Structure 1
Amino acid sequence: MDGSTIEISTHISLSSVDAADWNACACPEAEAGRAMDPFTTYRFLKALEDSGSVGAGTGWDPHYLTAHQDGQMIACAPLYGKSHSQGEYMFDHNFAQAFERSGGRYYPKLQIAVPFTPATGRRFLTRPGHEVNGMSALVQGAVQIASDNELSSVHATFCTEAEALAGAEMGLQHRTSQQYHWDNDAYANWDGFLDVLASRKRKMLRKERATAQGFGGDIIQLTGDQIEPHHWDAMWEFYQDTGARKWGQPYLTRAFFEIAHETLRDDILLVFAMQDGVPIAGALNVIGRDTLYGRYWGCTQNHPCLHFEICYYQAIDYAIAHGMKRVEAGAQGEHKLARGYLPVTTHSLHWFGDAGFRQAVGDYLEAERKAVGEEIEILTGYGPFKKVNVEEQE
């Protein structure tokens, strides 16, 4: 690349950023089909903003970062000022407490992330051909903004492993965690997946599906134009109930679901348990090019194993039927392990302005990475799959 100047800008609204320019960096592959990562598309981030799910009063203040060179946007990032650590799923409360005990002010901080979304994807969105200089410009820009405003830190959560390694080379601190994903090994159907499981686990999954599907109704999958406004009414009710129990209050507003009906339906898979024509449980999934992302679940009636069926087994069915590579089932939940979702490493990058605190965090993260790696190795061994070179006992 030439040595022309790169100009960094921040924007408090995506309305001041051209949608085509943003998507040329976030999802250039979408010109020939689906976006790899639906969460960093202009339409998804704009839905969060326009619905009031982020912005004033939420603790997620948009400061979208863009980089221009020779009049062309070469990179961008979903950057937010945070006044708390909620909705991130890469928890840093221990950092905040330690920083403030030492006399510092941890909040506000800067967060490069998709709000409320623990799904791995690119966070430093670069136009093809500008991967190196684009990411470097965004990192330098975010750090400079934090320094100029005397902010404690910058965090990029659920970035790709490649970004994590590149960021570490730039002086950022690399953190790891883990969550559970299901990988599609070219299974022809559900039974093909069951065939690779140990006998006891195979029987368990069959029993759970039979129990769930005997709840007294039907299970349906809806996407695109199949989704009607009353389906969003039901999903909002489910989401409110789960959100109130998990987080105290839901992160997304009702308006997000209304906007999703207009702009995101093709990116959404709803799975409903229907009883007498009325949804009594449901899950919202987001569709990427090769990954199905499980996001929200809720119910108005409790039935044995229905949660496993709606959230995990139906997602596997959809992924197999559509030739998708994996299902990401969201954060946490060791109960996913027995159902074929194995632990994988997730990544984040961090910068702290205080040199002493940065050193202390570095020591902690080194030990944490080792512990995460060991935990993943142990948990993988408890997976439901047949053991190599061990004859299965029926």
Structure 2
Amino acid sequence: MELRHHARISEIPAQAWDALAPDDQPFLRHAYLHALETAGCIGAGTGWQSAHAALWDEGRLLAAMPLYLKQHSMGEYVFDWAWAEAYAQHGLAYYPKWLAAIPFTPVPGQRILGATAALRRALLAAVLDAARHSGLSSLHLLFAAADETRWALELGCMRRSAVQFHWHNAGYRDFEDFLAALSRDKRKKIRQERRRVAEAGVSLRVIEGAQISLRDWSFFTRCYERNYALHRSAPYLNLDFFERLGDKLPQHCVLLIASQGQRDIAASLLLRDSTALYGRYWGALEDVSCLHFEACYYAPIEYAIAQGLQRFEGGAQGEHKLARGLQPVETASLHWLADARFSDAVQRFLERESLGMALYINELEARNPLRQTGS
């Protein structure tokens, strides 16, 4: 077997890549990663340089992983800025680093593709060995699957835990059935928030797949870009990427557009597979009280129930999601640092952080919004 690094996903045949990818999950599809590169979201001037790792045997792809050479830590949702600052204070370079992740996407799941578990583990071992001889500061594997987490720990990586909030479908018949499962105060709050949106004259429509027009993508992008502008930051993605996503992976795209009277004022984009809905991006041209909650939580949950999906992942962070029926879920990222001194220091930090994270998750679970007997 031979380990190769590819500066473009197009160097790997799409059919060979997708044959190893999990069934029907959009973020690891060749077309998704290719759209990021061809739209310029990844590449020159972005701080992301593709270095996709692949195991080959006489022209046959055995295993692969999305891998990037990073010049910063933006767009990752696992924050290591303090580590980079500590390196700099000691006259060392933290960047560039290797990052195995889905760019701009904190969806947990498989990160290493392979025909067998043994080949997936072999690729991870080969990449770690290459990292040790690369002269780079570190290798990071974000939001990894359980088996990948176990392998990485066996191979000498450090684990960092975080928490996300996911909604789980308990076989609800409709949104009212879901509300009935919540405590009284949470039911009341959600109904009040949905009522505010309705009283403002705002309604939402769902557009799926190939029904999403170029005009719809253009409108959504305006909303998405405005959301970043309000936070004084630049968006990671662009209209070219969204149009490519809609063209190549339409079966995964769900667009919610909010209208006030005859005027469209907001939009949220979700991706889906056969079992899950993934909350992604949102923006509004007008400020309407509680519209964010409606477009990013309540309407997606309603859609997931109607479609019989098992869960809705609401994205990274956001303790406020707990009050809206989403539950805490622990995620894992794995880290390897070349410098033994910093590795030891980070290991001690992570041990303390993991204790705090465990207490935090216990606290969140104690505030479970699902109805208790008599509530």
Q: TM-score, normalised on structure 1?
A: 0.92
> How many angstroms apart in 2 are the aligned matches of 1:317 and 1:371?
34
Contact between 2:26 and 2:249, CA under 8 Å: does it hold in 1?
A: no
Q: Does 1:42 align with 2:39?
A: no
Match of 1:283 among 268, 272, 276: 268
Q: Which amino acid aligns with 2:222?
A: E
Q: Does 1:108 align with 2:110?
A: no
Q: Which amino acid aligns with 1:131?
A: A
> How many angstroms apart in 2 are the aligned matches of 1:186 and 1:103?
56
Q: What does residue 322 of structure 2 align with?
A: 337
RMSD in angstroms over aligned alpha carbons? 1.4
> How many angstroms apart in 1 are the aligned matches of 2:178 and 2:40?
41
> How many angstroms apart in 2 are the aligned matches of 1:210 and 1:135?
49
Q: What does residue 159 of structure 2 align with?
A: 174
* SS of structure 1 residue aligned to 2:317: coil
1:100-179 equivalent positions in 2, closer than 5 A:
100-127=88-115, 130-132=116-118, 134-179=119-164
Q: Which amino acid aligns with 1:391?
A: G
Contact between 1:184 and 1:325, CA under 8 Å: does it hold in 2?
A: yes
Contact between 1:243 and 1:251, CA under 8 Å: does it hold in 2?
A: no
Deviation at 1:103, TM superposition (A): 2.6
Q: What does residue 391 of structure 1 align with?
A: 374
Q: Does 1:271 align with 2:256?
A: yes
Q: Which amino acid aligns with 1:16?
A: E
* SS of structure 1 residue aligned to 2:283: strand
Contact between 1:8 and 1:137, CA under 8 Å: does it hold in 2?
A: no
Contact between 1:82 and 1:107, CA under 8 Å: does it hold in 2?
A: yes
> How many angstroms apart in 2 are the aligned matches of 1:273 and 1:286?
17
Q: Which amino acid aligns with 1:167?
A: A
Contact between 2:125 and 2:155, CA under 8 Å: does it hold in 1?
A: no
1:7-22 equivalent positions in 2, closer than 5 A:
7-22=2-17
Query: Which stretch shifts more, 201-210 or 48-57?
Result: 201-210
Match of 1:371 among 356, 361, 372: 356
Q: Does 1:79 align with 2:67?
A: yes
Q: Which amino acid aligns with 2:324?
A: R
* SS of structure 2 residue aligned to 1:309: helix
> How many angstroms apart in 2 are the aligned matches of 1:214 and 1:161?
45
Deviation at 1:167, TM superposition (A): 1.3
Deviation at 1:278, TM superposition (A): 3.0
> How many angstroms apart in 2 are the aligned matches of 1:167 and 1:135?
11
Q: Does 1:358 align with 2:343?
A: yes
In the superposition, relative to structure 1, how do residues 230 and 276 fare at CA in structure 2: closer, same or farther (>3 Å)? farther
Q: What does residue 220 of structure 2 align with?
A: 235
1:24-43 equivalent positions in 2, closer than 5 A:
24-27=19-22, 29=23, 35=24, 37-43=25-31
> How many angstroms apart in 2 are the aligned matches of 1:342 and 1:83?
34
Contact between 1:187 and 1:193, CA under 8 Å: does it hold in 2?
A: yes
Q: How many residues align?
A: 375
> How many angstroms apart in 2 are the aligned matches of 1:101 and 1:288?
45
Deviation at 1:281, TM superposition (A): 0.8
Deviation at 1:369, TM superposition (A): 1.5
> How many angstroms apart in 1 are the aligned matches of 2:196 and 2:125?
54
Contact between 2:246 and 2:253, CA under 8 Å: does it hold in 1?
A: no
> How many angstroms apart in 1 are the aligned matches of 2:130 and 2:198?
53
Q: What does residue 18 of structure 2 align with?
A: 23
Query: Which stretch shifts more, 294-303 or 353-362?
Result: 353-362
> How many angstroms apart in 1 are the aligned matches of 2:229 and 2:143?
24
Contact between 2:121 and 2:151, CA under 8 Å: does it hold in 1?
A: no
Deviation at 1:136, TM superposition (A): 2.7
* SS of structure 1 residue aligned to 2:152: helix
Deviation at 1:138, TM superposition (A): 2.1
Contact between 1:293 and 1:330, CA under 8 Å: does it hold in 2?
A: yes
> How many angstroms apart in 1 are the aligned matches of 2:69 and 2:262?
44
Identity among equivalent positions (%) equals: 39
> How many angstroms apart in 2 are the aligned matches of 1:277 and 1:42?
38
Q: TM-score, normalised on structure 2?
A: 0.96
> How many angstroms apart in 1 are the aligned matches of 2:374 and 2:291?
32
1:195-210 equivalent positions in 2, closer than 5 A:
195-210=180-195
* 1:86-126 Cα distance to aligned partner (Å, 9 max, x none): 00001111111122222321000000011111111111112
Structure 1 gaps, min length 5? 1-5, 30-34
* 1:136-178 Cα distance to aligned partner (Å, 9 max, x none): 3322332233333310000011112332122111211111111
* SS of structure 2 residue aligned to 1:256: helix
> How many angstroms apart in 2 are the aligned matches of 1:67 and 1:366?
33
Contact between 2:256 and 2:268, CA under 8 Å: does it hold in 1?
A: yes
Q: Which amino acid aligns with 1:55?
A: G
Q: Which amino acid aligns with 1:90?
A: V
* 1:228-282 Cα distance to aligned partner (Å, 9 max, x none): 1111111100110112334610001221122123212221111111134432011
* SS of structure 2 residue aligned to 1:221: strand
Q: Which amino acid aligns with 2:160?
A: R
Query: Which stretch shifts more, 69-78 or 108-117?
Result: 69-78
Query: Which stretch shifts more, 67-76 or 281-290?
Result: 67-76
* SS of structure 2 residue aligned to 1:343: strand
Q: What does residue 42 of structure 2 align with?
A: 54
> How many angstroms apart in 1 are the aligned matches of 2:179 and 2:203?
23
Contact between 2:168 and 2:311, CA under 8 Å: does it hold in 1?
A: yes
Structure 2 gaps, min length 5? none
> How many angstroms apart in 2 are the aligned matches of 1:362 and 1:150?
21
In the superposition, relative to structure 1, how do residues 247 and 160 fare at CA in structure 2: closer, same or farther (>3 Å)? farther
